[in-house]
Amino acid sequence: MNTFNFQISKELPADQIEAGRKLFTSETSFLKGVVAMNGLPTANRPEVCFAGRSNVGKSSLINGITGRKSLARTSNTPGRTQEINFFSISDKLYVVDLPGYGYAEAPLPIVEKWQSLLRAYLSGRPTLRRVFVLIDSRHGIKKVDQDIFDLLDKSAVTFQIVLTKIDKIKVEDIKILIERISQDLSKHPAAFPEILLTSSNSGEGIKELRAIITNF
């Protein structure tokens, strides 16, 4: 455990891992893309969402956990996901892919429209059980991430940091990165005290993420 009590997610029990595997190998489907708050599906089941800067790997991770290569559209160009995309997992829960915040290759008025929708969604969805905030392990936490943390603190929605593209950084740099992130998170009451390390390329952290989601 480090000084700030934030730690890398522990190994989960085998039965929880198995429950996660089962849930995500059952029926998963794209439900709808939403462009305005009044288009959200009825809030009648638990929901988790993937937030993060443009290009951090949100859609790739959703493909990773569902085991479906192109369920969510991914791209090299920041700003690929332009709607709030709802995926239904076994009719039991929603997994939600969000447009990225921060830099995106799209006209400013359009980006501003996504940003206000994103903020409205993150602060006003009663069934939202956890926000996974994805951070690119090569870049760490930026000002735009801090703004989202502040918003989630205010709306009292628990968020968990998921480091992405862990295949791209050296093992010895991970410890330094975690220390730095822990320091930032210690200021945020809504932060969940475990950080998950993932790679959609190598598959690291995928079964753990499934297992975590199964608990909702």
CB nearer ligand GTP, residue 3 or residue 143: 143
Counting residues that bind ligand GTP (by CB under 6 A) gives: 24
137 binds, among Mg ion, ligand GTP, none (CB under 5 to 8 A by kind): none
Which of 54, 85, 160, 182 forms a contact with ligand GTP (CB under 6 A)? 54
Minimum CB distance to ligand GTP, residue 135 (Å): 11
Minimum CB distance to ligand GTP, residue 157 (Å): 19
Site map for Mg ion, 77-106, x if CB under 5 A? ---xx-------------------------
Quick one: which segment of 17-25, 140-148, 184-192, 193-201 binds ligand GTP (CB under 6 A)?
Answer: 193-201
Does 28 participate in binding ligand GTP (rule CB under 6 A)? Answer: no
Which of 9, 28, 55, 59 forms a contact with Mg ion (CB under 5 A)? 59
CB nearer ligand GTP, residue 25 or residue 75: 75
Minimum CB distance to ligand GTP, residue 167 (Å): 5
Instruction: Output the 3-class SS for the chain.
Output: CCCCCCEECCCCCHHHHHHHHHHHHCCEEEEEEECCHHHCCCCCCCEEEEEEECCCCHHHHHHHHHCCCCCCCCCCCCCCCCCEEEEEECCCEEEEECCCECCCCCCHHHHHHHHHHHHHHHHCCCCEEEEEEEEECCCCCCHHHHHHHHHHHHHCCCEEEEEECHHHCCHHHHHHHHHHHHHHHCCCCCECCEEEECCCCCCCCHHHHHHHHHCC
The residues that touch Mg ion, with contacts defined as CB under 5 A, are 58-59, 80-81
